[in-house]
A = this chain, B = another copy of it.
Amino acid sequence: MAAEGESPGRVVTAAILVIGDEILSGRTKDKNIGYIAEYLTNIGIDLREVRVVPDVEEEIVAALDALRARYDYVVTTGGIGPTHDDITADAVARAFGVPIGEDPRIIALMMERYPPADLTPARRRMARIPAGAELIVNPISTAPGFCIGNVFVLAGVPSVMQAMLDYAVKSMKTGAAMAVETIEAGTIPEGRYGDALGAIAKASPDVLIGSYPSFKDGRLTNQIVVRGKDAAAVAAAREAVEAMLAAMRSKPL
């Protein structure tokens, strides 16, 4: 997990794997995907895919194998606690084909926190990680996450996950950050500017242009977002979009 640093020209990709029945049943509303997405985007890592799978070992292994083969990094959340439904570490070990066992570094951390009588088999379960994994420090509740190969295994509780992510990203290589420009189209309907915007998008191959409606005070209001690694291309597309909207505002239907 040595730090890799930034290389502006490079494209670095990632996926998130959310593990947990509680997300699929709707009992828990995920707060981690949006947080990690924004975090990775800000440091120049492109999040390309997210999957949510249940607490079933075969499902976790299959998703891990699909994602780790395809992207530079996989960040998982959930399933590393002390109860029987916490099976992420076992699934990761199986995916990598390595043994799993109690890590003496984690037992040592736990012994600093708990009196010996409290070091229950359940708590010791949190010390079981795949052989060769490196620890991801947990400043909140002791039991660490871990990293093996290109997979970073974090907790599911958002505050713990966030603290672990701060630590985990130190060892990730990062690419050029996206330049992002957001332009308010307000209540000009997408259906009115869609054709002109499509023409700008076509003429701007180096940027991604999206149009995002949302409801505000009962009316649809639209934002146009221009993104890209080339700041000059993003600025040029932004100007084209603003000129298009100005022309429409000056000639209401």
A237 CB to nearest chain B CB (Å) = 13
Partner of A37, one of B23, B42, B114, B178: B23
Partner of A49, one of B30, B33, B52, B220: B52
User: 1/0 per position for A231-253, CB-CB distance to B under 8 A?
Assistant: 00000000000000000000001
- Are B191 and A126 interface neighbours, CB within 8 A? yes
Partner of A191, one of B35, B82, B85, B191: B82
The stretch of A2-10, A94-102, A194-202 in contact with B is A194-202
Asked if A170 is at the interface of the complex by the 8 Å CB criterion, the answer is no
Q: Given that A81-B211, A194-B83, A202-B84 are known contacts, is A227 also in contact with B25, CB under 8 Å in the complex?
A: yes
Q: Is the interface of A mostly helix, strand, loop or mixed?
A: mixed
Q: Given that A82-B190, A210-B21 are known contacts, is A50 also in contact with B51, CB under 8 Å in the complex?
A: yes
- Are A50 and B27 interface neighbours, CB within 8 A? no
Q: Which of A112-135 contact B (CB under 8 A)?
A: 114, 117-118, 120-123, 125-126
A233 CB to nearest chain B CB (Å) = 17
- Are A83 and B28 interface neighbours, CB within 8 A? no
Asked if A105 is at the interface of the complex by the 8 Å CB criterion, the answer is no
Q: Which of A1-47 contact B (CB under 8 A)?
A: 18, 20-30, 33-42, 46-47
Q: Total interface residues on A, using CB and 8 Å?
A: 75
Partner of A212, one of B22, B46, B182, B202: B22
Partner of A201, one of B35, B82, B84, B178: B84
Chain B neighbourhood of A191, CB < 8 A: 82, 114, 118, 120, 122-123, 126
Residues of chain A touching chain B, judged by Cβ–Cβ distance below 8 Å, are: 18, 20-30, 33-42, 46-55, 59, 81-85, 114, 117-118, 120-123, 125-126, 141, 157, 159, 178, 180, 182, 190-195, 197-198, 201-202, 208-215, 220, 225, 227, 253
